[in-house]
């Protein structure tokens, strides 16, 4: 087969357990196959078209496949699903159609690659997200506990969350019988939300925040630009 290798576009429709591969050149479908989600298997299949241009849409599987193919010397890019051109009214989506469409568009140079972070930058992003997740978990736990207390006609002892408020709320002797009875049912779950979820979330948030501060100090000492971001409220 004598097709121009430089014009071969390969589209990958990547899922958790499978990869649908389609190769197109000059508007002609060269091959298509469904593979297990395995980096080595995809690399081996792409060996049939040296120099081919490969792409897949960003998704929950992350950038592991991209990094593997780049390390193997394969021209691979990741594209944003929202930036892939589509015809009006074409709403039928299947693995086969998606892979063919990506391959044809990429062969024609109609797709725009997105920025793929380095593993170090991605780890920093995950750290920031972990801190935000922990902060939200803490907030939800406080809300659940506040509603639980209010349903039993109690009032929070202070206006802000701290040692005094948590201690007086959880250990109120005057209402210990109510809280103890709640242990065997749904009320117990809500009562324990602060102790099990809120405290854990707060510890996670504090650890994440400490790591982020260390990274910021390192970047500042190295003369690197620190991205602007809104500080987390304590």
Low-confidence ranges of the chain (pLDDT < 50): 1-5, 173-174, 183-188, 190-191, 229-234
The model's pTM: 0.68
Q: All domains of the chain, ordered by start, with CATH?
A: 5-107 (3.30.420.40), 119-221 (no CATH)
Structure tokens at 226: 């620190």
Burial (0-12, 13-18, 19+ Cβ within 10 Å), 65: buried
Question: For 85-131, what is each residue's pLDDT tens digit?
Answer: 887 777 778 899 999 999 999 988 899 999 999 998 998 889 889 88
Structure tokens at 177: 């019988």
CA-only gyration radius of the chain, Å: 26
């Amino acid at each position: 087969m004598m097709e121009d290798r430089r014009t071969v576009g390969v589209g990958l429709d990547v899922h958790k357990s499978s990869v649908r591969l389609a190769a197109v050149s000059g508007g002609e479908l060269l091959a298509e196959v469904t593979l297990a989600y395995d980096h080595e298997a995809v690399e081996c299949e792409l060996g049939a078209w040296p120099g081919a241009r490969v792409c897949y849409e960003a998704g929950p599987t992350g950038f592991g496949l991209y990094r593997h193919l780049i390390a193997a010397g394969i021209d691979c890019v990741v594209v944003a699903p929202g930036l892939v051109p589509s015809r009006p009214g074409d709403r039928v989506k299947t693995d086969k159609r998606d892979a063919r469409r990506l391959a044809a568009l990429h062969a024609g140079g109609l797709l725009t690659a997105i920025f793929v972070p380095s593993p170090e930058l991605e780890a920093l992003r995950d750290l920031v997200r972990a801190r935000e997740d922990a902060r939200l978990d803490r907030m939800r736990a406080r809300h659940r506990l506040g509603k639980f207390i209010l349903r039993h006609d109690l009032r929070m002892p202070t206006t802000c969350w701290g040692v005094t408020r948590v201690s007086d709320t959880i250990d109120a002797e005057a209402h210990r019988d109510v809280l103890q009875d709640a242990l065997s049912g749904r009320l117990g779950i809500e009562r324990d939300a602060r102790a099990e979820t809120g405290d854990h979330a707060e510890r996670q948030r504090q650890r994440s925040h400490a790591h982020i501060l260390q990274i910021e100090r390192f970047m500042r000492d190295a003369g690197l630009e620190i991205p602007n971001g809104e500080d987390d409220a304590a």
